[in-house]
């Protein structure tokens, strides 16, 4: 069985994490291409594109600027522990022991507008880019084309 989760809009990069285990996303090179395009946008363009407030747009422009192909404990955390929405609170990922995290790693996937498909322990850097965003890119008119 494979459980597929949507990403949450809310992120938690502050609270302590319960594991040092991690993996890297499969599509980092593709993510870097999207980030390169996102870095060209002004906060006003991001606000309009994503339908978000100016302060949230400015926050995400900063995230795109700071994004790196190198994932460290300082700039990233496992996806299952980074997302902070209803599904993730219900999952109570912070309480999962090593065996449960291993099971989740094999049976859970998280869809991501930036990273494609993430495994629970894949490191991810903070971002906002919903799959439904009509962001024109090298492969087409939206992220589904990418």
Residue 139 has pLDDT above 80, yes or no: no
d(CA 129, CA 137): 13
Q: 51: helix, coil or strand?
A: coil
Q: Can you say whether residue 51 is alpha, beta or left, with left for phi > 0 and alpha for psi between -120 and 50 degrees?
A: left
Could you give the count of Cα atoms lying within 13 Å of 120 in the half-sphere of its Cβ?
26
Q: Report CA torsion sign: 116, 10, 126, 119.
A: negative
User: 49: part of which helix (H) or strand (E)?
Assistant: helix 43-50
pLDDT tens-digit series, residues 17-32: 888 999 999 999 999 9
pLDDT tens-digit series, residues 94-115: 899 999 999 999 999 999 999 9
pLDDT tens-digit series, residues 61-92: 999 999 999 999 899 999 999 999 899 988 88
CA dist list (Å): 46 to 63, 84, 133: 12, 22, 10
pTM, 2 dp: 0.91
């Amino acid at each position: 069985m494979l459980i597929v989760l949507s990403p949450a809009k809310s992120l938690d990069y502050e609270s302590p994490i319960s594991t040092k285990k991690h993996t890297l996303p499969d599509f980092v090179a593709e993510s870097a291409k999207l980030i390169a395009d996102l870095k060209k946008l002004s906060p006003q363009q991001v606000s309009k594109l994503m339908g978000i407030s100016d302060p949230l747009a400015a926050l995400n422009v900063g995230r795109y600027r700071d994004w790196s192909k190198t994932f460290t404990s300082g700039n990233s955390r496992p996806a299952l522990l980074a997302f902070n929405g209803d599904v993730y609170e219900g999952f109570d990922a912070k309480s999962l022991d090593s065996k449960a995290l291993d099971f989740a790693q094999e049976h859970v996937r998280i869809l991501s507008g930036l990273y494609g498909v993430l495994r629970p322990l894949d490191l991810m850097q903070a971002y906002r880019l919903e799959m439904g965003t009509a962001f024109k890119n090298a492969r087409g008119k939206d992220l589904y084309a990418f």
